[in-house]
């Protein structure tokens, strides 16, 4: 297949590109710096700007979007929205015109908003906060009757090479790791290998609609903290108070102080099997593989 990947130089995207290349598929990475993007994959991947897509390709994996892990102000929140919604709209239109058959688009479990202990499946309604509204707009931009569309609502991706785990590890190793706020908020997680495998499953199988990209056993932040401390052989230290995190990060602190208990109901019904369904095994693998 010839697959176009936006966000292909990022944490998840780069692993997806390498997976496809290893299996001798043709990959075009959408990037504002095509030469740098191509060099990242040793020249094995093509690269282009969004305005210069190939004349034809089979499918799109859409992971483009400005990072969320910095303090949000009004201008940056608009950048977060535009980087997802506008890019997705333009990429979807281009894919439709070029006859692509599948559009696999990233989304996020922030779609569900802050739900406390309520179990959320793909059939649950969206929330009403900023991240929920962002996800609703993002998913709407991907919709297209001419292609098979899959929306993967990704949770906390675990691997030492990137994402939240890369940020948290130094704190735990230096005896500074503790729960966030009261620790009762749910963190719905997935190992990096499983999220890559899920994108590939969505690409190569006849599935459509939303799929939760989270392992079937979500945990609270308190439980996550205890397991991570065990995995790195460190004690759990006193918590980071919620008010302090809000002073430091502003509204962005909601990502770690609020949460969703997300279950991959449709994902599993579609036939996807998780390599790492339990947190202890996922953390041990994510820290050492």
pLDDT, tens only, 253-262: 888 888 999 9
pLDDT of 61: 98
In the predicted structure, residue 24 carries a pLDDT above the cut 80: yes
Please state, rounded to an integer, the average pLDDT across all residues of the chain.
93
pLDDT of 189: 97
- pLDDT band of residue 241 (cuts 50, 70, 90) is confident
In the predicted structure, residue 179 carries a pLDDT above the cut 90: no
Q: State the pairing for strand pair 186-187/219-220.
A: antiparallel
pLDDT of 168: 85
Q: Under a CB-based contact definition with an 8 Å cutoff, are residues 27 and 46 in contact?
A: yes
pLDDT of 252: 78
pLDDT of 245: 78
Q: What is the pLDDT of residues 29-52, one digit of tens each?
A: 999 999 999 999 999 999 999 999
Specify the higher pLDDT residue, 241 or 155. Answer: 155
Distance CA 239, CA 245 (A): 11
pLDDT of 242: 80
pTM: 0.95
Q: What is the pLDDT of residues 49-73, one digit of tens each?
A: 999 999 999 999 999 998 888 888 9
Distance CA 5, CA 37 (A): 11
| Region 151-157 average pLDDT | 97
Q: CATH number for 2-288: choose from 3.20.20.60, 3.40.50.720, 2.70.150.10, 3.30.450.40.
A: 3.40.50.720
273: left (phi over 0), alpha (psi -120 to 50) or beta: beta
Residue pointed to by tokens 């990429």: 91
- pLDDT band of residue 172 (cuts 50, 70, 90) is confident
Give the residue extent of every domain in the chain.
Answer: 2-288
Distance CA 263, CA 35 (A): 40
Specify the higher pLDDT residue, 180 or 31. Answer: 31
Show the tokens assigned to 140.
């709407």
pLDDT of 71: 86
Show the tokens assigned to 169.
């590890």
pLDDT of 243: 73
Q: What is the pLDDT of residues 96-136, one digit of tens each?
A: 999 999 999 999 999 999 989 999 999 999 999 999 999 99
């Amino acid at each position: 297949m010839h697959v176009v990947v936006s966000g292909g130089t990022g944490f998840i995207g780069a692993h997806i590109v390498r997976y496809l290349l290893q299996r001798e598929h043709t990959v075009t990475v959408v990037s504002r710096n095509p030469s740098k993007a191509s060099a990242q994959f040793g020249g094995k991947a093509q690269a282009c700007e969004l305005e210069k897509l190939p004349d034809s390709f089979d499918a799109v994996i859409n992971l483009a979007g400005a990072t969320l892990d910095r303090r949000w102000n009004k201008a940056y929140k608009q950048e977060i929205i535009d980087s997802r919604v506008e890019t997705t709209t333009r990429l979807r239109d281009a894919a439709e015109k070029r006859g692509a058959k599948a559009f696999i688009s990233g989304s996020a479990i922030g779609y569900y908003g802050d739900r406390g202990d309520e179990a959320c499946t793909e059939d649950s309604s969206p929330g009403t906060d900023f991240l929920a509204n962002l996800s609703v707009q993002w998913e709407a931009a991907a919709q297209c009757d001419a292609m098979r569309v899959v929306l993967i609502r990704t949770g906390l991706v675990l691997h030492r090479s990137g994402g939240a785990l890369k940020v948290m590890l130094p704190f735990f190793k230096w005896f500074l790791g503790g729960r966030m706020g009261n620790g009762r908020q749910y963190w719905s997680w997935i190992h990096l290998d499983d999220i890559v495998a899920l994108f590939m499953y969505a690409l190569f199988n006849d599935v459509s609609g939303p799929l939760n990209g989270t392992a079937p056993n979500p945990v609270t932040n308190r439980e996550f903290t205890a397991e991570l401390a065990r995995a790195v052989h460190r004690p759990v230290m006193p918590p980071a108070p919620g008010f302090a995190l809000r002073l430091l990060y502003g509204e962005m602190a909601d990502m770690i102080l609020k949460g969703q208990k997300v279950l991959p109901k449709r994902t599993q019904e579609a036939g996807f099997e998780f390599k790492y369904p339990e947190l202890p095994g996922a953390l041990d693998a994510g820290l050492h593989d």
